[in-house]
Amino acid sequence: MFKILELKGAVSGAGAAEGAAEVGRGHPTREDALVALKKYLKTFKISGHNREENFWWARDAEGLRKCWISAAE
């Protein structure tokens, strides 16, 4: 199972994963999670990803949001 995690605000570093909230529900494959993540990002006017596509970002009235796919434990 894979899940989409989202971190609101500019917090980053080692403790970032603990402050992240899950977006949606778990997905059976990483590809399914990626499709869901891209659909979620389309709800924002401004979004993008880093070159390696291991995290995505969006910006709205609440500020910057960072998203990534994580294997569920």
Q: pLDDT confidence of 72, banded at 50, 70, 90? A: confident
pTM: 0.80
What gap in Å lies between CA 45 and CA 33, rounded to an integer?
21
Which residues face 3 on adjacent strands?
A: 70
Residue ranges of the alpha helices (H) in the chain? 30-41
Burial 33-54 (b: 16+ CB within 10 A, else e): bbebbeebbeeeeebeeeeeee
Q: What is the per-residue pLDDT across 30-44, written as a single tens digit (0 to 9) for each? A: 999 999 999 999 999
Q: What is the per-residue pLDDT across 10-67, written as a single tens digit (0 to 9) for each? A: 555 555 556 789 998 899 999 999 999 999 999 999 999 988 878 999 998 888 999 9
Residue ranges of the alpha helices (H) in 6-72? 30-41
